Amino acid sequence: MATPDLYKQFTISFPGGTLTASRDVLASIFVDDLLPGTCNPSETQVSRKEYSRTAYPGAPIGNLIKTDPYVIKNYSNGRSSRAAAGEAIKFLINGRFWTARLTGTHQDFMDWLCDNQDSLEGESTYWVSNRGKPFLVTHSSGSN
């Protein structure tokens, strides 16, 4: 049964870019249990220097303010806005082409697909760039 969530646009971040498509297209490319999530933020540890506070300029130091380090999490969208940026690409799924949007380089995307072959659906993933250049990743997943 089709649900409205299948037609919502989702963005998956990978090192160097993003892939945006509707949930049904992503579910056709990736094994559902292994569908890469967007919950892999990069983390940056931030620590500030301690500083002093005075009541007015030139007054004796009233308080020494100490700060605790904290972590900033970046849920990257591939250095782009959530607008329809990037390149329109096509995936061959069950004999028909379905579109998605890719930001980042083809090389970064292919590196990411090759590193995540266990999460890909079927025996191969075939996609075509906006300029018509074909790309193929052959793999063997548990479901066919």
Question: Tens of pLDDT along 79-100?
Answer: 444 455 789 999 998 888 999 9
Which residue type is seen at 73?
K
Q: Which residues pair with 93 in a beta bridge?
A: 96
Residues 33 and 47 in one domain: no
Residue 95 token pair: 């004999």
Residues 86 and 127 in one domain: yes
Residue 40 token pair: 């892999």
Is pLDDT of 122 > 90? no
CB 98 within 8 A of CB 89: no
Domain that holds residue 132: 4-40+81-138
How far is Cα 136 from Cα 110, in angstroms, rounded to an integer?
9
Longest dimension (CA), the chain: 77
Report yes or no on whether pTM surpasses 0.75.
no
Q: What is the pLDDT of residues 25-78, one digit of tens each?
A: 888 888 876 565 555 566 788 888 888 888 888 888 888 888 888 887 665 544
Residues 86 and 122 in one domain: yes
